[in-house]
Amino acid sequence: MDNSFLTDDLFEKERKVIENALLVCENYDHENPKLIEEYKALIGYFVKLAKETKKLVKLSDHWQRKLRESIQKYRSVTESAYDAIISIDSSKKIISWNKGAKEIFEYNVKEILGKSVFTLIADKSQEKIEKLFISSKSQISELIGIKKNKEEFPFEISFAKWKANNETFYTGIIRDITDRKRVEQHKEDVERIIKHDLKSPLNAINLSSQLLLQKIKDEKLEKGLVNNIVTSCQKMQHIIINSLALFKMEEGSYQLKPETLNLIEVFENLKIEFFNLLEIKSCQLIYILNGDKVMGNEICHLKGEKFFLGNLFSNLIKNAIEASPNDNLITVNINKTNIECVEIDIHNYGEIPLEVRNNFFDRYSTSGKSYGTGLGTFSALLIVKAHNGDIHFTSSKENGTHLIVKLPLGEKI
């Protein structure tokens, strides 16, 4: 009888049973033909069973191999993923943790496996993630996470629920969106700064237009008013076209395009912007160059970007007028302290509140102005730094506030 199939890999126990049955069949072949037929039938059954078992073993090996390949692919994908991929069991304990999760949260596998997922979630987002666990739908949500060093950061999570062996599990794919949020915030800041900076040239255009409509019979004055309108329009155009420049300045990627300009001319062109505000406050603004009052025809050359420097001093002088007590003098002292630097000291008799002094140049730092954006001094700082300059202040009740800007004359730009 053919028993060659027994040479294949079968289970050892079953193989021996079949061999013994074949042996019995051969030994009793001459004594009991009927019994022999029964044994042959039994052997035929065993042969068929063995063949089917062999197929099942091969099929089992095939699917085991496929399962191992799938597991290997999963591990390869999760370990090479930039995003964090985390799995959680029904008790909200972390059961899997990839390399991306380590990079984002800074915990290694041994430190975090078995810990509650709430270890990674800031208090302000705890309620939100609870809702994700309750929901039956896969969702994408934004949460605030906590790194190992307790630093909070925003992340986006794609969250899914699945079942195995009657137990519920959860898997989250997490992406750190700190950079994206920062860019979005910069975009909002740029929009606010544009709105803020457009007010001054618009006021200048409005006032100059009104004065021209009064048909003043003074050719020099009329020419000056028309020039103010043209300059203000150019300034507005520059603000809009260069709306991303401040973002680049903060990133340190802005390429300055300096030109030789007369700083006195920059200040003179700003006067019309403050006309209404000075009238309301009953204040006076004067410029002083190296100890002498500026008459308008003086020269103080330096290299820089004319429109950005105009925005810089427009914001700072406007702030000084707003902060000044009524019926007071605001002075802008311009001094060439040496052959390399010019110092501009903008003084008013108001005092900077103590609560904002430490973050005076930070974005959104403002005090006492319901309409203030807190971006004027922030953009001023960026412009000064882009020109390789320095800006600082002193403030007291007795001496008022001195806001001091130092700019290189051109060699170090």
pLDDT band for position 78 (50/70/90)? low
User: Amino acid identity of 370?
Assistant: S
Maximum average pLDDT range among 202-216, 239-253, 326-340: 326-340
Specify whether 43 is located in the same domain as 129.
no
Specify whether 117 is located in the same domain as 245.
no
Residues in contact with 391: Cβ distance below 8 Å, sequence separation at least 6, in sequence order: 361, 380, 381, 384, 403, 404, 405, 406
pLDDT band for position 10 (50/70/90)? very low
Position 287 scores a pLDDT of: 96
In a domain, 358, yes or no: yes
- pLDDT per residue over 223-258, tens digit each? 666 666 767 676 676 666 666 777 788 778 888 889
Range in 104-118, 162-176, 356-370 with the lowest mean pLDDT: 356-370
Position 61 scores a pLDDT of: 63
Position 221 scores a pLDDT of: 61
Strands 259-262, 284-289: pairing is unpaired
**Does the pLDDT of residue 2 top 50, yes or no?**
no
Other CB atoms within 10 Å distance of the CB of residue 242: 17
Specify whether 184 is located in the same domain as 172.
no
Q: What is the CATH number of the domain that holds 123?
A: 3.30.450.20
For residue 227, what are its two tokens?
């020039």
**Does the pLDDT of residue 379 top 50, yes or no?**
yes
Range in 55-64, 264-273, 333-342 with the lowest mean pLDDT: 55-64
Specify whether 223 is located in the same domain as 367.
yes
Residue 186, exposed/middle/buried by CB under 10 A (0-12, 13-18, 19+)? middle
Specify whether 12 is located in the same domain as 87.
no
Residues in contact with 190: Cβ distance below 8 Å, sequence separation at least 6, in sequence order: 243, 244, 246, 247
**Does the pLDDT of residue 364 top 70, yes or no?**
no
**Does the pLDDT of residue 3 top 50, yes or no?**
no
Specify whether 350 is located in the same domain as 337.
yes
In a domain, 276, yes or no: yes
Task: Give how far Cα 101 sits from Cα of 42, 81, 86, 164, 288, Å.
Answer: 60, 9, 7, 23, 60
In a domain, 413, yes or no: no
Last residue of a domain, one of 79, 95, 121: 79
Residues in contact with 298: Cβ distance below 8 Å, sequence separation at least 6, in sequence order: 264, 289
The residue with greater pLDDT, 73 or 325, is 325
Q: Can you tell me which residue has the tokens 């006309």?
A: 275
Position 4 scores a pLDDT of: 46
- pLDDT per residue over 268-315, tens digit each? 888 877 877 888 899 999 999 999 999 988 999 999 998 889 889 988
In a domain, 125, yes or no: yes
- pLDDT per residue over 119-165, tens digit each? 999 999 998 888 888 886 778 889 999 999 999 999 999 888 888 88
Residue pair 367/358 in contact (Cβ under 8 Å)? The answer is no
In a domain, 62, yes or no: yes
What value does the mean pLDDT take over residues 370-385? 76
Can you give the residue range of the structural domain that contains 290?
Answer: 180-408
Specify whether 125 is located in the same domain as 220.
no
Residue pair 40/25 in contact (Cβ under 8 Å)? The answer is yes
Specify whether 221 is located in the same domain as 143.
no
The residue with greater pLDDT, 413 or 403, is 403
In a domain, 310, yes or no: yes
Q: What is the CATH number of the domain that holds 380?
A: 3.30.565.10
Last residue of a domain, one of 79, 101, 128: 79
User: Amino acid identity of 224?
Assistant: G
Q: How many domains does the chain have?
A: 3
Residue pair 400/349 in contact (Cβ under 8 Å)? The answer is yes
Last residue of a domain, one of 56, 79, 102: 79
In a domain, 246, yes or no: yes
Specify whether 201 is located in the same domain as 226.
yes
Specify whether 62 is located in the same domain as 145.
no
Specify whether 158 is located in the same domain as 14.
no
Cα separation, 11 vs 360, in Å, equals: 82
Specify whether 220 is located in the same domain as 350.
yes
DSSP bridge partners of 402 = 347, 394
Residue 362, exposed/middle/buried by CB under 10 A (0-12, 13-18, 19+)? middle
SS3 291: coil
For residue 374, what are its two tokens?
């807190």
**Does the pLDDT of residue 25 top 90, yes or no?**
no
Position 413 scores a pLDDT of: 47
User: Amino acid identity of 50?
Assistant: A
Left, alpha or beta for 393 (phi > 0: left; psi -120 to 50: alpha)? beta
In a domain, 98, yes or no: yes
